[in-house]
A and B are shown apart, each in its own frame.
Chain A
Amino acid sequence: MRLVIIVALLAVIGAASVWWRRRDGHLHEASGSLRPQDLGLSRRSQEVATIVEFTGAGCGPCGPLRERLDALANEIGDVRVIAIDAGERLDLADRYDVRRVPTILIADERLRIRWRASGVPNDRELREALLGPAWAGRPHPDTADERS
């Protein structure tokens, strides 16, 4: 009987681990909108894609992720990165359903949320989200170059 319980517990832990690894740090499509006033943006702010990173005190991976996001934004050009301390802005953490840090939201020019991830996504996923075919409403830079 004890052996059966142990096997069942190990199965539960194994399943939970697999589920978590598939979810953690992976971007998935999301909906909703960012409010300009939440981000300190005026109506006259330049319309570019927006990455919001929710950070927190003592969050080890948040700083390195911010550096990677900034580097990606510099490389791509029309992307802005905004960091929000979830501990200081609990109202925003609640509004955007942020349960852990880092959490990132990627929104298009109209501030419609397209992607979100809890954890640390890799560069390939970030590029795919910002430049890939699934990105609606934003021309791929290569295509834009061809048109100009």
Chain B
Amino acid sequence: MENTVMVDRNGMRFGAGLSAAVLVIAFAIDLDIIVPIVALALGLGAAFGPSWSPMSLLFKGLRASVLRGMRPDPEPATPPRFAQFVGTMFLLAATLGLYVYESEAVGWGLALIVAVLQALLATTGICVGCEVYLLMKRLQAKGT
């Protein structure tokens, strides 16, 4: 049987909420450098698995201490990993917009799209990137 790497959905939601809040606060105080930092954090999750992102590591630390009673809610890691990859691409494009093209509208526009999607994941559990991944898999299966 194929082994499926699992992640805790609670950790994904926590990480999404944290990165959304950081991006929105950075937008409020016009702190452009946060955009590539969040891109790097998401990129680590996309490259090595969602549990390797700094947000997930922080969540692990919280679970070992203040959130000890929380029940894990496992889900397959691949869809959130894809979602993190898409988020990373958006934030890299946002970084290019801010630093190379010096366009705040493009840079912060892309970054805020990521922030909104992350906030939706945090507050509702809707992972738009995961849904896109599953839709692609479904279309792929139909094509074969």
Contact = CB atoms under 8 A, between A and B. Distances in A.
A60 B115 contact: no
B112 A9 contact: yes
Tell me the dominant secondary structure on chain A's binding face.
Answer: helix
A12 B126 CA distance: 14
B116 interface: yes
B124 interface: yes
Interface stretch (B24-32, B39-47, B88-96): B24-32
A13 B76 contact: no
B61 interface: no
Interface residues of A, number: 21
Interface in A37-77: 57-60
A144 interface: no
A6 B28 contact: yes
B115 A9 contact: yes
Given A5-B112, A20-B126, A58 B76 contact: yes
Interface of B: 4, 6, 9, 24, 27-28, 30, 73-76, 112, 115-116, 119-120, 123-126, 131, 138, 141-142
5 contacts: A9-B24, A9-B119, A16-B124, A17-B123, A59-B75
